[in-house]
Structure formats: structure tokens, C-alpha cells
Chain A
Amino acid sequence: MIRDLANPTRFMSLSGTLLPWVGGLAALLMAAGLSMVWFTAPADYQQGETVKIMYIHVPAAWLSLFFYMIMASSALGTLVWRHPLADVSQKAAAPIGAAFTLICLVTGSLWGKPMWGTYWQWDARLTSMLVMLLIYLGILALWRAIEEPNRAARAVSILTLVGAVNVPIVKFSVDWWNTLHQPASVFRLGGPTIHSSMLVPLLVMAAAFTLLGIALHLSGMRTEILRRRVRTLTILEAERLDAQAA
């Protein structure tokens, strides 16, 4: 399957068929999730209605890690297997992951102020998440700094794999250190600790965010393939003009 998709033309055809379905399903799930959040999910007995921030904060945090894992596996695809679409996938994932990391940090801060009395605390979870955003920004900057796509991909792959050390730190920071941030309450051994009346809307929102992210990623990959075709043809045109002038 992955080898079949190594052909960009085949990928463009398959992704072109999939994209409207994934995007449409994401929109439907987002509408269902938001209606559950606003009309059926109860207020928390301690946090009141502020718990509604959880339904965007948690999926954004999940997508931040999800897209980093996509980038890390694509980096392996670039460096080890030299898969022709691996660096396209890496490049398309970076801005999406960065955007969801930003959403996670800002909504967490806006949730923290009324609950903890502060927008920011240098605890392990918050700090490692900020480091995650800085790594994403570094990767985006590196993509822009090196013009030749293959050279850029190799440099970015190395940076991405080094930065992957931060992923388990983000995930397990609440277990390894004493943090103001609460421990995991959904993906944990022993099952979720959230009541189903809140867990179901949260999972629907997480599914909606994930499908939205996948749709954006597919779209980004398609655009990147086109950008590379444009680049190749522009170079070809310049070479032809040079030959005519000579």
C-alpha cells in the first residue's frame, strides 16, 4: 500500500477521491461534537461551565503529538527508506501540528487563569508543550531556509528525530514530575476517569479534530506535490531559455 502510494500521480488520484469524504465527515462530527458540548454535556461540579474549554484543549493537545509522530515517522521514511512522499508528508504536517500546539497552549492558558489563578506556570507539562511549539517553529524555519527540497528534507528529518525525544516527555511529564497540570484522565492504564456524559462529547470532538487534521494534511501534501511540479517546470523553462540564448 505504502509502496503503491510512492507514485505521486497515484497519490494525487487517491487523495483527490478521499479528501471530500474525510473533510465532510470531519464537518459532520464537528457539528455533532459541538452540539453535544453546548447542549447536552453537563457543567463540572468544581469547574462549572469552564470545563467546556476541555473539549477543544484536549483534542488540540492530542493532534499536536499526533502530527509530531507523523513527522517523525515521515522523517524515518526520508532518511531510511527514501520514500518519495515522506518529505512531502513531513512538510505538510509541520504547520498543522504547530497550529494545534498553539491552540493547546493558548486554550490551556485561558483555562488555567480561572481554575489555577494564573495564565502560566513553569511546570513540566506546560514547559514541554512550549518546547514542542518551539521545535515546530524551528522545523518550519528550516524548511524555509533551505531552498532545495531534498536537502531541506534531510536536515529537517534529523531535527525532527532529535525533537521526538520531547514527545514522551510531554506525555509522561505529569507522571514523572509534580505538576500543576492534572494527570492523564482519558488515555491511561485502568481506563478513563471522566464520566461518560463528558467522555463521549470529548471523544467525538477528538475524532472530529483528527479527521480535520487528516484532511488538512492530505490537502497540504497535494499542494506540496503541485509546488514541486511547478518548481521542476520553472527550472526546465529557465534551462530552455538559456539554451536558446546560447
Chain B
Amino acid sequence: MSHTFFIAFSYILTALVVIGLILRAVIDHRIQVRALAELEARGIGRRSRRG
């Protein structure tokens, strides 16, 4: 195999892992924001503990 293969594979793999980390961060954040908004829409808030 040529050296180009090893270089290209290294950069492609790194790009995929970094993109994966970024996507995971964005998607996970959105899921939590949505879940929090749904709970608050149902009237479940920290202040509701007192009531």
C-alpha cells in the first residue's frame, strides 16, 4: 500500500471521530433541552416542589 493510503486513512478517521463527537454533543444537548421544556410545559418546575 502507498503512503498516501496511510495518510488519507489517518485524516479521514480523525475527521469522522471529531464529527461524531460534535454531532453527539449537539444531538444530546437538543434532547435534554426538549425533555426539560416538556417537563416544564407539564408544570413540573423546581418551584412546584413547594406547592
Which residue numbers of A lie inside 8 Å of B, CB to CB? 48-50, 52-53, 56-57, 60, 95-96, 99, 102-103, 106-107, 110-111, 113-114, 212, 216, 219-220, 222-223, 226-227, 229-230, 232-234, 236-237, 240
Main secondary structure of the interface of B (DSSP, over half): helix
Which residue numbers of B lie inside 8 Å of A, CB to CB? 3-4, 6-7, 9-11, 13-14, 17-18, 20-22, 24-26, 28-29, 32-33, 35-36, 39-40, 42, 44-46, 48-49
Q: Which of B11, B21, B26, B42 lies in contact with A99, CB distance below 8 A?
A: B21
Q: Which residues of B contact A99 (CB under 8 A)?
A: 17-18, 20-21
Q: Which of B9, B22, B33 lies in contact with A216, CB distance below 8 A?
A: B22
Contact in complex: A223, B28 (CB < 8 Å): yes
A235 to chain B: closest residue by CB:
B44
Measured CA separation A6–B10 after assembly (Å): 40
Measured CA separation A233–B32 after assembly (Å): 12
For B10, B13, B22, the residue with the greatest tally of chain A CB atoms inside 10 Å of its CB is B10
Q: Which residues of A contact B7 (CB under 8 A)?
A: 49-50, 52-53
Contact in complex: A50, B3 (CB < 8 Å): yes
Contact in complex: B10, A230 (CB < 8 Å): no
Q: Which residues of A contact B20 (CB under 8 A)?
A: 99
Given contacts A219-B26, A230-B36, A234-B39, 16 further A-B contacts (CB under 8 A): A49-B4, A50-B3, A50-B7, A95-B24, A96-B21, A102-B17, A106-B10, A107-B13, A110-B9, A113-B6, A219-B29, A223-B32, A230-B35, A233-B44, A234-B44, A240-B44
A237 to chain B: closest residue by CB:
B44
Q: Which of A96, A102, A107 lies in contact with B10, CB distance below 8 A?
A: A107
Q: Which of B14, B24, B32, B42 lies in contact with A56, CB distance below 8 A?
A: B14
Q: Which residues of A contact B14 (CB under 8 A)?
A: 56, 60, 103, 107
